[in-house]
């Protein structure tokens, strides 16, 4: 793999930088860079800007309305937008269900859903986990019983990220209780505005409710919303999870956060000198930086080698990416010392009028630290990812 950018790739990078410099709203960038609270309108505004430019789905194949960007161009776009303070793209439609629809969906599903995702008209969420069916996802119990031209869905999903904003949900449901548990699962696309769907927020440690419980009570779903074949949903789910786990690595955002960590370490004084010059703290930062560089190279290798979809190597990216995210957050907290301890939810808003305890940049760090504890769990816990690597890579 050539680690240097070609002239064409450098020109692409310059184009992305110029576009972001001109079009990224500064109030949104400030929220991201200062770890403030983002609302639905912030995500939608930025994604509308990208959609108007034709870049929201730039990584999609041209045949589906994307730009057909190369893996290197995708990496450059992610890195440049993250560094500038752009919000992450909501992945559920763009990076998760869209590849499944492209690979296994019907012609009607492709024509109906892909343009709406590409144009930022639908917000999607994911209906996988259930109470008692998280890591053992194949034990899910939400039922879909076919009745003529529709399914009747009953059950509960949990940890449904941003379901309170969603227009659509891609959902794993059990269509057979007689087959082997993996073979009785199907993949449905469900309108979140359907009668019988209710969403109840789950309040997290940072006092946000980004995840929810989602309930289905006699929800009618047209049979035409079944993706692929009935009973094949487990295969489609694994295909989707490869894309999710690759995206969770979050190299661009981690590089931005590491730069913030270095800046904090230069500002904070210990024994009359910047913390960055403390040998032990500097060594720990160097260790994280090396890990991040190695992760970036691994991501590039995986993306460059991709033929159809990410395989078990996506588990490696998920493990290391989430561990690095948590390590950076922990070092930020340690760098701030006692100033990182007070947790004031109001400090998460740009218009907070109460002065924080200590430097302004210390106030949101506890909330961010709390929130990032979940990254090693969602998308399949890191323990499960290690089992996947052992079985499929190491043949243990």
Tell me the helices (H) and strands (E) count for the chain, helix number first. Answer: 13, 9
Evaluate whether 227 touches 101 at the Cβ level (below 8 Å): yes
* CA gap 311, 307 in Å, rounded: 10
Nearest 5°: the CA angle 29, 31, 32 is 65
Q: Which of 296, 294, 367 is nearest to 333 (CA)?
A: 367
Give the SS3 label for residue 72: helix
Evaluate whether 361 touches 34 at the Cβ level (below 8 Å): yes
3-state SS of 77-108 is HHHHHHHHCCCCCCHHHHHHHHHHHHHHCCHH
Evaluate whether 48 touches 87 at the Cβ level (below 8 Å): no
* CA gap 156, 198 in Å, rounded: 10
List 73, 244, 257, 268, catalytic entry:
244
Largest CA distance in the chain: 76
Q: Which of 9, 237, 36, 233 is nearest to 143 (CA)?
A: 233
* CA gap 381, 393 in Å, rounded: 18
Q: Which residues of 93-117 are buried (b: 16+ CB within 10 A; e: fewer)?
A: bbbbbbbbbbebbeeebeeebbeeb
Residue 16: both structure tokens together: 């992305």
Q: Please list the alpha-helical segments (H only) found in 231-275.
A: 233-248, 251-267
User: Is 244 assigned a catalytic role?
Assistant: yes
Q: Which of 74, 70, 65, 162 is nearest to 114 (CA)?
A: 65
Q: Which of 191, 184, 199 is nearest to 169 (CA)?
A: 191
Q: Give the catalytic positions in this structure.
A: 244
């Amino acid at each position: 793999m050539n680690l240097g950018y070609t002239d064409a790739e450098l020109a692409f990078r310059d184009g992305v930088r110029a576009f972001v410099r001109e079009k990224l709203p500064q109030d949104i960038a400030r929220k991201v860079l200062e770890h403030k609270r983002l609302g639905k309108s912030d995500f939608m505004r930025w994604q509308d800007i990208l959609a108007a430019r034709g870049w929201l789905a730039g990584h999609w194949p041209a045949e589906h309305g994307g730009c057909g960007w190369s893996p290197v161009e995708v990496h450059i776009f992610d890195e440049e937008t993250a560094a500038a303070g752009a919000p992450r793209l909501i992945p559920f439609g763009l990076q998760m269900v869209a590849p499944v629809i492209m690979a296994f969906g019907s012609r009607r599903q492709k024509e109906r859903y892909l343009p709406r995702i590409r144009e930022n008209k639908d917000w999607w969420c994911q209906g996988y986990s259930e109470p008692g069916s998280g890591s053992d996802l194949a034990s899910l119990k939400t039922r879909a019983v076919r009745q003529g031209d529709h399914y009747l869905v009953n059950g509960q999903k949990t940890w449904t990220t941003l379901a309170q904003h969603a227009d659509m949900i891609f959902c794993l449901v059990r269509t057979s209780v007689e087959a082997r548990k993996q073979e009785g699962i199907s993949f449905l696309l469900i309108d979140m505005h359907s009668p019988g769907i209710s969403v109840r927020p789950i309040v997290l440690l940072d006092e946000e409710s980004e995840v929810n419980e989602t309930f289905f009570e006699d929800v009618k779903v047209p049979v035409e919303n079944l993706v692929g074949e009935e009973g094949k949903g487990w295969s489609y789910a694994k295909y989707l999870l490869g894309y999710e786990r690759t995206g969770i690595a979050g190299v661009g955002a981690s590089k931005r956060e590491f730069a913030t960590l270095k800046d904090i370490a230069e500002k904070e004084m210990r024994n009359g000198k910047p913390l960055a010059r403390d040998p032990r703290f500097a060594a720990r930062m160097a260790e994280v930086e090396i890990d991040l560089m190695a992760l970036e190279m691994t991501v590039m290798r995986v993306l460059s080698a991709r033929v159809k979809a990410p395989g078990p190597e996506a588990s490696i990216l998920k493990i290391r990416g989430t561990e690095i995210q948590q390590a950076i957050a922990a070092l930020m907290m340690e760098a701030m010392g006692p100033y990182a301890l007070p947790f004031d939810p109001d400090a998460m808003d740009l218009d907070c009028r109460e002065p924080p305890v200590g430097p302004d940049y210390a106030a949101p760090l506890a909330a961010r630290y709390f929130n990032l504890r979940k990254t090693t769990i969602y998308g399949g816990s890191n323990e499960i990812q290690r089992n996947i690597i052992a079985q499929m890579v190491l043949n243990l």
